[in-house]
Structure 1
Amino acid sequence: MLYLVLSVLCTSLIFVIFKLFDVFKIQTLYAIVANYVVACTVGLLLSESSFSFDEVIAKSWFMGAIALGIFFIFVFNLMAKTAQVAGVSVASVATKMSLVIPVVFGVILYQEKLSGLQILGIFLALAAVYFASMKEGGMAISKKTLILPLLVFLGSGVIDTSIKYFEAVHLEPEEVSIFSAMLFGFAAISGFCFIGVKAVKKPIKVNFKNVLGGIFLGVPNYFSIFFLLKALQHGKLDSAAIFTLNNVAIVMLTTLLGILLFKEKMSPKNWGGIALAVVSIVLVALF
């Protein structure tokens, strides 16, 4: 449970740092790429065993790490586009409600057992994420733009499900650090390629502020994945329960941090979502 708490704290800190990017006018894309470089470096430095690149290439999870690292950048850009076209609330809900995908796969592929109260808690968690993320004015979007949040929903779910798959099938406990480092390393390479394509049309300048933002983001970003993998390996709960608790606790904590740190306004629906989140956490964790 400690690893899960640490993962929630690190992920919530990421959202706070993203909010600070707006305050300090940091360009998100370039900071994201710098963050992946930092996260990869942290993983290599904290590796729990000695390794060589030849040995890493021979690992059964290596090609999957490449694909998942590239997918990180792809889903990030989808999230950014969804926020621009359909709104931040829609992007947030699509991302967090994707918890249903790894939950379903955990039950189907790994024969994980859920009690009736845990299943109720998961449904309440979906409702909690929806209501806690809603902003005044609703989240109505046109059918034309519905494809974007749908892709974000699927992409986020695929990432969580893939992380569970590698943890269950391919990873040894001592390989968590290097596997996490490889994910972020290939995400960084993909990001540099993406920036390179953009630079053909418009030359870019290195901005120290963007690099600094990436450094502050990279450390909690690395540990958010590291501790989630550790929670999946050592937790007493099934992965379905872990992903539910992880996502709902993040929504609840980031919402409260938004109120305390940035004076964000809360509607009655938001408070209702927080209350549902508490109930869902109790049902999933205790029963």
Structure 2
Amino acid sequence: MIYIFLSICCSVTVAVLLKLAKRYQINVLQAVMWNYLAAILLSFVFFRPVLDTVAVLPSPLVVLLGVLLPVLFLILSASVRKIGIVKTDIAQRLSLFIPILAALFLFGENFSRLKIAGLIVGFIAIFLTLFRKSASKAEKFSYVYPVLVFIGFGVIDVLFKQLAIDKSIPYTSALLAVFGVSFIVALLILAYTVVLKKQKVQLINFACGIVLGCFNFCNILFYMKAHRAMSDNPSTVFAAMNMGVILLGSIVGIMLFKEKVSRINYIGIALALTAILLITLSQANAV
């Protein structure tokens, strides 16, 4: 369970760092670019990928993931700044419904009543968590970000599952290739802002990006180690990770950043936990 706990802490820390970026005038785009450089270096240290296979990876899928990751990271950052850690983390964790729906409609998986109940409760939770009675037009528009986080992480999860299906290529090598494409994409976006918008590349953004990359990578590393250590109980890892991030993220957001959460939002958080638990139980019963 220590790996799960460490992965939860790293995941929430990433959200906290993105939340603090605006306060300390950190350029998120630059930090995201250096974040992927850190991920690439750490992949060499911990995964020791087979470099000969990188050149023969399924390029369309790798490129698509490589493009989506930095773009979604920027959207995630905007969501954390606009509506806070609590609601962004929940949107991210509830994105699990998209790969579940993909399993139903794309892969023909049979759904139990428990899983269907979990999906229904989950969609109600999304609405209640993001609900706000009186919101200006600007505030209403800001809720586009968690919706994009929800859709984006769900799609990325499906794509990563597709990448993992290819047993002829080591998954660690594929992950390194994805990080490499993401770094190049972020570098191109940054070059555009530097050349045309005259933004300066600052050392502080490099330092923050490396720190961000370390926590982002460790989140993945500890999550993988948790699955290896508890290979007979994947549903336990899945449930503990998702519920742990929602709980810790909510506590940090409410106590540390004084994020406003209404009674209806609290009901949404409780329903989100219930939905994840129902889906996890349905998976456990299916084994």
TM-aligned CA deviation for residue 192 of structure 1: 0.6
Q: Is the 8 A contact 2:99 2:157 kept in 1?
A: yes
Per-residue CA deviation, residues 133-161 of structure 1 (Å, 9 max, x unaligned), is 44563586899999887665543332111
Partner SS for 1:262: coil
Q: Is the 8 A contact 2:194 2:201 kept in 1?
A: no
Partner SS for 1:38: helix
Find 1:68's aligned residue among 65, 71, 79: 65
TM-aligned CA deviation for residue 261 of structure 1: 2.3
1:188-199 maps to which residues of 2 (within 5 A)? 188-199=183-194
Q: Is the 8 A contact 2:83 2:143 kept in 1?
A: no
> Within 1, Cα distance between the matches of 2:167 and 2:219?
20
Residues 1:125 and 2:122 aligned together: yes
1:160-171 maps to which residues of 2 (within 5 A)? 160-170=157-167
TM-aligned CA deviation for residue 227 of structure 1: 5.0
> 1:253/1:143 Cα in 2 relative to 1: closer, same or farther (>3 Å)?
closer
TM-aligned CA deviation for residue 167 of structure 1: 1.9
Partner SS for 1:219: helix
Q: Which runs of 5+ in 2 are unaligned?
A: 283-287
> Within 1, Cα distance between the matches of 2:277 and 2:92?
22
Number of equivalences: 278
Q: Look up the match of 2:285.
A: none
> Within 1, Cα distance between the matches of 2:109 and 2:8?
23
Partner SS for 2:198: coil
Per-residue CA deviation, residues 231-268 of structure 1 (Å, 9 max, x unaligned), is 77846457xx94x8755553333122112322333211
> Within 1, Cα distance between the matches of 2:115 and 2:188?
43
Give the partner amino acid of 2:173: I
Q: Which runs of 5+ in 1 are unaligned?
A: none
TM-aligned CA deviation for residue 275 of structure 1: 1.8
> 1:220/1:113 Cα in 2 relative to 1: closer, same or farther (>3 Å)?
farther
Q: Is the 8 A contact 2:243 2:276 kept in 1?
A: yes
Per-residue CA deviation, residues 42-64 of structure 1 (Å, 9 max, x unaligned), is 11211245x23x332123x4542
> 1:261/1:11 Cα in 2 relative to 1: closer, same or farther (>3 Å)?
same
> Within 1, Cα distance between the matches of 2:56 and 2:94?
35
> 1:112/1:14 Cα in 2 relative to 1: closer, same or farther (>3 Å)?
farther
Q: TM-score, normalised by structure 1?
A: 0.76
Partner SS for 2:256: helix
TM-aligned CA deviation for residue 215 of structure 1: 1.3
Residues 1:159 and 2:156 aligned together: yes
> Within 1, Cα distance between the matches of 2:145 and 2:280?
33
> 1:147/1:210 Cα in 2 relative to 1: closer, same or farther (>3 Å)?
closer
Q: Is the 8 A contact 2:194 2:200 kept in 1?
A: no
Q: TM-score, normalised by structure 2?
A: 0.76
Give me the identity figure in percent.
28
> Within 2, Cα distance between the matches of 1:285 and 1:129?
18
Q: Is the 8 A contact 2:91 2:126 kept in 1?
A: no
Give the partner amino acid of 1:105: A
Q: Is the 8 A contact 2:119 2:275 kept in 1?
A: yes
Residues 1:57 and 2:52 aligned together: no
